Amino acid sequence: MRPSDTRTRAPRGPVLSPQAAPARIHELDALRLVAAVSVVLFHYTFSGWADGTTTVAYPEMGSWTRYGYLGVDLFFMISGFVVLMSAWGATPRRFVVSRGARLYPAYWLAIAVTAFVTVTLGRDLFPISAGQVLANLTMFQAVADVPNVDVVYWTLWAEMRFYVLILALTWIGITRSRVMAVLWGWLALTVLVEAGLLPRVADLVVQSEFSHYFIAGMALFLARDRGFTWPIGLLLTLCAGNAVYRALGYADAVGRRYGVAYDHVVVITVVIALFAITAMVALGVTRRLGRPWLATAGALTYPLYLLHAHIGFILINRVGASLDKYVLLAALLATMAAAAYAVHRLVERPAAPLIKRILG
């Protein structure tokens, strides 16, 4: 560690040594759950019927669940925090193995189940091919411009590109000063892309649509780990401003797609709330609210996210006409939660340590 990375004042949050396992932050698990449920409700009660994919409408709920897509934004901010936390002090190999063990087992099963349901029950609702499935198994299908087996998988490509940045940091050695330099550089590149001063292909790396969330999450980890400083505060303020700017444009685009109008005040309020609440969690303000059971709830969010969309749409169309729509919604949520729990207990928990043991 450089001398400049050693602080004489006491940090406000727990300090991680390279060997120390990071303590689980149960409030982040709660935020994961909120994000996942928001996205699920967005799909089931708004986007499915708004774009004609499903036959059951929820106009009353849809007036507020239409904002549920912002749960993805929260996922990205949490990812910035926890991925940097998990990479701190890790070797490149250990980081890659850890991320692979975390992502791929549930993802492979989700692809298999989604493909099976699509072929057997989908009634050609979602076109799918064997080559498409095989390409999706890599999680790099976007490189070859192969369609996703499920619409929600697009976020995984964003995550994978973020992991490349963290992997590069593990190669050069992660310190507070180096991470801060990367964050300021990333934000500067974001502005250059948005101003049209860099070629559009640069955004493949910069990810200007969501970079502010990853940057903010990483900055908040630094604030929790080594203390809040004015450069972090300035960085978070700029990220929040850019997030609001991009979120308003994105909301207008989503509104045009679904033929609705998004209230800009609501969008701004939600985005600022994402930053404020995540900051309170990072700085330990909400520590007393954490409960151990939230760890299990948080662990279910990834398989729930992977499984819910296309399978849910297909099931809505198959049984929607024979059930009360709110009974159908409750049954769908319960079914997906049970499936997510099964994937976590029967696949993720045994597979992750096995993969780490073999490859680590």
pLDDT digits 0-9 by tens, 197-208: 999 999 999 999
- The pLDDT of residue 214 is 98
Please report, for residues 79, 110, 170, 189, the alpha-carbon distance to residue 206 in angstroms, rounded to integers and kept in the order given.
16, 28, 19, 7
- The pLDDT of residue 225 is 76
Residue 10 resides in a domain: no
Packed helices 26-42 and 264-282: angle between N→C axes, nearest 10 degrees: 160
Residue 7 resides in a domain: no
Residue 16 resides in a domain: no
First to last CA, the chain: 25
Question: pTM surpassing 0.95?
Answer: no
- The pLDDT of residue 22 is 56
- From CA 146, how far away is CA 124, in angstroms rounded? 18
By C-alpha distance, which of 229, 282, 85 is closest to 166? 85
Residue 15 resides in a domain: no
- The pLDDT of residue 7 is 33
- The pLDDT of residue 227 is 85
- The pLDDT of residue 78 is 98
Residue 14 resides in a domain: no
- From CA 273, how far away is CA 269, in angstroms rounded? 6
Do the beta carbons of residue 239 and residue 76 sit within 8 Å? no
Residue 8 resides in a domain: no
Residue 11 resides in a domain: no
Do the beta carbons of residue 55 and residue 321 sit within 8 Å? yes
How many domains are contained in the chain?
A: 1
Residue 9 resides in a domain: no
- From CA 122, how far away is CA 116, in angstroms rounded? 9
Which stretches of the chain score pLDDT less than 50?
1-21
User: Is 2 exposed, middle or buried (CB count within 10 Å of its CB: 0-12, 13-18, 19+)?
Assistant: exposed
For 30, the domain range is 21-359
